[in-house]
Amino acid sequence: MELLSPREAAAFALSLLDLTNLRDDCDYAAIEKLCQRAQTPYGNTAAICIWPRFVAHARQILGAEHPVRIATVVNFPSGDLDVATVVGETRKAIEDGADEIDMVIPYRKLLAGDEAAVTEIVEAVRAACPNACLKVILETGELKDSVLIRRASELAIAAGADFIKTSTGKVAVNATLEAADIMLQAIRDSKKRVGFKPAGGISTVADADLYFRLAETIMAPNWIMPSTFRFGASSLLDDILGVLSGSTTVRASSGY
């Protein structure tokens, strides 16, 4: 990838954005606004990412074959629900019209040494949504240790993840370039077609460009595309639109 101008980076980031509203106060009106915001004068975001209870409403708004995909979350944000419950959440979300499932691994169990718990739940959710894009959230800010982040990445990939995702955006430390480096290397070394999604705290085009640089360094040229790379963010869209429209407004990082 050649060095991108701010405008080029903004346009690229727009095409890779999972525009997110996972706020506790989200309501139906907010979902309607999110669907509208995802369709900009400069192109669409890749997806919206919303609570499961709003999936059917979003599908009604967007229609059956809309280019903006609907992602939702399961085992979120705690990662500590039982497998049967998470499978049930997943099946209901698919029935309601979700295209993509972002699931949290039982990271507390992994911290306690239980690798099998991660494999079991990822495999179960994979089986429950065979035709959906499955993004597996590692919650790297809670795992902290580089060896554990690497192992979580390997377990998720082996169990059938289409993407590995850094964070829920609900903890103190979310996406970091350090975690991204470890996860991208795990994807590269797996030799599988698995995508990467940094999420939480990415609020400017300049932030996004740092992740572009890192991914380009680790992965093959032209690897970055919507099927292999997404950003999970809400305020990032404001900066993208500011850059594309010529505004000089700079927004501070605010996560979700």
Q: How far is CA 95 from CA 27, 132, 202, 250, in A?
A: 20, 11, 31, 40
Q: How far is CA 203 from CA 3, 61, 223, 239, in A?
A: 20, 26, 23, 7
| Strand, helix or coil for residue 20 | strand
Residue 149 contacts residue 111 (beta carbons within 8 Å):
no
Helices and strands (H and E) in the chain: how many: 11, 10
Q: Is 197 a catalytic residue?
A: yes
Q: What is the dihedral of CA 147, 148, 154, 159, to 10 degrees?
A: 170
| Residue of 18, 165, 207, 209 marked catalytic | 165
Q: Is 189 a catalytic residue?
A: no
| Residue of 197, 207, 209, 239 marked catalytic | 197
Q: Is 92 a catalytic residue?
A: no
Q: Report which of 159, 54, 165 is spatially closest to residue 102, judged by C-alpha positions.
A: 165
Dist CA 197 CA 137 (whole Å): 9
77 upstream amide cis, omega within 30 of 0: yes
Residue 18 contacts residue 233 (beta carbons within 8 Å):
yes
Q: Is 83 exposed, middle or buried (0-12, 13-18, 19+ CB in 10 A)?
A: middle
Active site residues: 102, 165, 197
